[in-house]
Amino acid sequence: MSEAGNGGSQRLVQLASDISEAATFGRALAGAPAEFPEAGRILLAGTDPPRGADMPDGVRLIPVWRWLLEESAG
C-alpha cells in the first residue's frame, strides 16, 4: 500500500502476520522499493524477525499491536 502524506511524501506500508522465518521475512521486504525508491518504508509485523536478521536501511519495523494503538489514539 502506498499513501500520500503531508507535503506529498509517500510511505509504503507492508503488513506481514509472521516474519519469524527467514524466507517470509525476505518476501516481506522485497518488491515495491524499486517502483517507489523515495518512499519511506514501514513493515507492520505480528512477530519478531528471525534471530540475527538485519533490517535494511530506510525500513521501520513496527509491531502491529503498537501501530493499531497509535492509530486508534490519534
For 14-72, the pLDDT digits (tens) are 999 999 999 999 999 886 677 788 888 999 999 999 999 999 888 999 999 999 998 88
For 35-46, the pLDDT digits (tens) are 788 888 999 999
pTM for this model (two decimals): 0.78
E-strand ranges in 1-74 read 2-4, 10-16, 40-45, 59-63
Domain ranges of the chain: 10-73
